[in-house]
Amino acid sequence: MHAVTEKTISLPSFTLSEGGESGELEISCCLWGEVSKPLVVVMGGISANRWALDSMGHSSAHGQSGWWRSVLNPASYLNPRDFSFLTFEYFAFADRVANPPLVSTMDQAHILAQLQQSLNLPQFCAVIGSSYGGMVSLAFAARYPERLQHLICVAAADRNSVKSQALRSIQRQIMQMGLDAGGSCQQKYTALARSLAMLGYRSDAELESRFDADDPVSSLQQVKSYLNHHGSKFAQTFSASRYAQLSQSIDHHRVDASHILASTLLIGITSDQLVPVEFIQNLHAKISGPSQCRWIDSLYGHDGFLLEAEAINQIFKHYFSEYNHDPIEPNHRCASGY
């Protein structure tokens, strides 16, 4: 486990990219390790939080398990001895706000830039984003090219497929039924929407190998139990309003990749149904800076960014070994100098 400093940063209101005002914000974030070392931003999917690494020495998060601890740990290339890390919570309007304005991935990128400025942090050695975080990382690199050296985008592209948009639209309709019903029904319908999402996160091959049985009644019961478990677990900590807002944020995600100048590594998963290989190949062709693609053959589909730690670690090691990072010099340029 690793020492962490948790902070809540007050940020001024700003005009959202799709219209409307954010209002004054309170953004929770974590700084891991010594910021004098190369600083890496880490962002995950919509359900990810600021606890990406295992934590210790912090009263409110003692023993907290990090959602990417299999990738960021002492045995990995990106380890807390050689690097420091910044993580933060995505912004969404409070549940009590009726018909909230759209919060785009560009708005999340703006918040990251404001955190960098407010905390007087150095130029980021790398901004690493997976899934929704990958979309935010692309938006950040396109809008703030001078604020990072490297962009690493995992299982995300500059736009989303029509199929994935359709799936999310159905999920939001399900959640709206729960909101209309009110009371305890909200959590039930949020769980159902998340269960549907799980079918998109995992590959057909995994589901067939995991739940195929000679008895169709048995296989159906197994997969229903699996989906219900993950849906209920998600709904216990994630409100329908936050889920719907971040879902819409994904649908409206668009980035002009020609504005990306940083050295870029794109990682795709060949079995990913939500972010097909051709979307990442098309993104690669649009990036203006030096870029490369690496592919992971995984049984787990989109969720490979969480479950293929060994492959991801090897890709990171190979990528960063191409660069000679001085552990101190890159951090002499602080955010206040931008």
CA–CA distance, 271 with 278 (Å, rounded to integer) = 12
Active site annotation includes 161: no
Based on the residue annotation, tell me whether 302 is a catalytic residue of this protein: yes
How many Å apart are CA 16 and CA 228, to the nearest integer?
36
Q: Given 195, 272, 291, 303, which residue is catalytic?
A: 272
Cβ atoms of 133 and 152 within 8 Å: the answer is: no
Amino acid at 118: S
Can you read off the two tokens belonging to residue 71? 């990738």
* Pairing state between β 2-11 and 25-32: antiparallel
Tell me if residue 76 is catalytic: no
Contacts of residue 104, defined as CB under 8 A and 6 or more positions apart, other chains included, come to 16, 17, 18, 139, 249, 252, 253
Catalytic annotation, pick one of 158, 195, 302, 303: 302
Asked whether 39 and 124 are in contact (CB, 8 A), the reply is yes
Task: Provide DSSP, 53-112.
Answer: S-EES-TTTTTPPPTTTTTSSTTSSS-TTT-EEEEEPPP---TTSSSPPP--HHHHHHHH
Alpha-carbon dihedral sign for residues 129, 133, 138, 144: negative
Q: Which of 17, 131, 164, 241 is catalytic?
A: 131
CB neighbour class for 58 (10 Å; exposed up to 12, middle 13-18, buried from 19): middle
On whether the CB atoms of residues 69 and 4 are closer than 8 A, the answer is no
Q: Which residues are catalytic?
A: 131, 272, 302
